[in-house]
């Protein structure tokens, strides 16, 4: 019985050290950012569907993005196509440019995950939340693909953060 109580106390003491968990959460966040930078710099080649989407965008005008289907039966959200086409028109159609928008959104997803965790959870809970976001292989994979899925994850985290921010502001106004 006494060992069970002492184990509960030691677990409570570990999770109560907020400075440690905040530091560890920031370190894990930095590790996630470094992993995404590594994947961006030493990127893989385009998959066939990514190459067909890139070739489709390269071969059509901005007007055709709005009013004609993409060649090779490709499909992607209009906003993703417009931003990617604009980046390609300004900086050229290289793999670096094609992967840039998903890369930036992947970094933004990690930052938003940290901000959401910090707002919703204790420092220990924030650490666990950021650990799950950084360790999620799907989020890492879609940061380095020329597809819209990483951008969709970023938009989802952004909407959650905006909701929490708005709800928290209303809750604080009601309490005061």
The tens digit of pLDDT for each residue in 96-142 reads 999 999 999 999 999 999 999 999 999 999 999 999 999 999 999 99
Closest CA to 112 of 170, 142, 153, 168: 153
pLDDT at residue 130, rounded to an integer:
97
The CA–CA distances, whole Å, from 147 to 43, 75, 89, 141 equal 14, 10, 18, 10
Closest CA to 107 of 172, 33, 30: 33
The tens digit of pLDDT for each residue in 78-103 reads 999 999 999 999 998 888 999 999 99
By percentage, how much of the chain surpasses pLDDT 70? Answer: 86
68: left (phi over 0), alpha (psi -120 to 50) or beta: beta
Which two structure tokens, joined as six digits, stand for 105? Answer: 């959104």
Q: Is the pLDDT of residue 158 over 90?
A: yes
pLDDT at residue 10, rounded to an integer:
54
């Amino acid at each position: 019985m006494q060992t069970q109580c002492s184990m509960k106390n030691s677990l409570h003491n570990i999770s109560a050290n907020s400075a440690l968990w905040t530091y560890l959460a920031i370190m894990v966040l930095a590790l996630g950012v470094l992993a995404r930078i590594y994947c961006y710099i030493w990127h893989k080649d385009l998959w066939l569907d990514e190459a067909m989407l890139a070739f489709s965008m390269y071969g059509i005008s901005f007007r055709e993005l709005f009013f004609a289907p993409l060649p090779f039966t490709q499909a992607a959200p209009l906003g993703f196509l417009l931003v990617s086409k604009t980046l390609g028109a300004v900086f050229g159609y290289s793999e670096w440019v094609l992967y840039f928008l998903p890369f930036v959104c992947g970094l933004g997803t990690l930052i938003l995950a940290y901000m959401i965790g910090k707002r919703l959870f204790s420092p220990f809970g924030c650490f666990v939340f950021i650990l799950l976001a950084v360790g999620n292989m799907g989020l890492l994979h879609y940061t380095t693909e020329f597809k819209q899925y990483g951008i969709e994850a970023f938009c989802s985290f952004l909407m959650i953060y905006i909701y929490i921010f708005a709800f928290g502001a209303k809750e604080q106004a009601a309490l005061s």
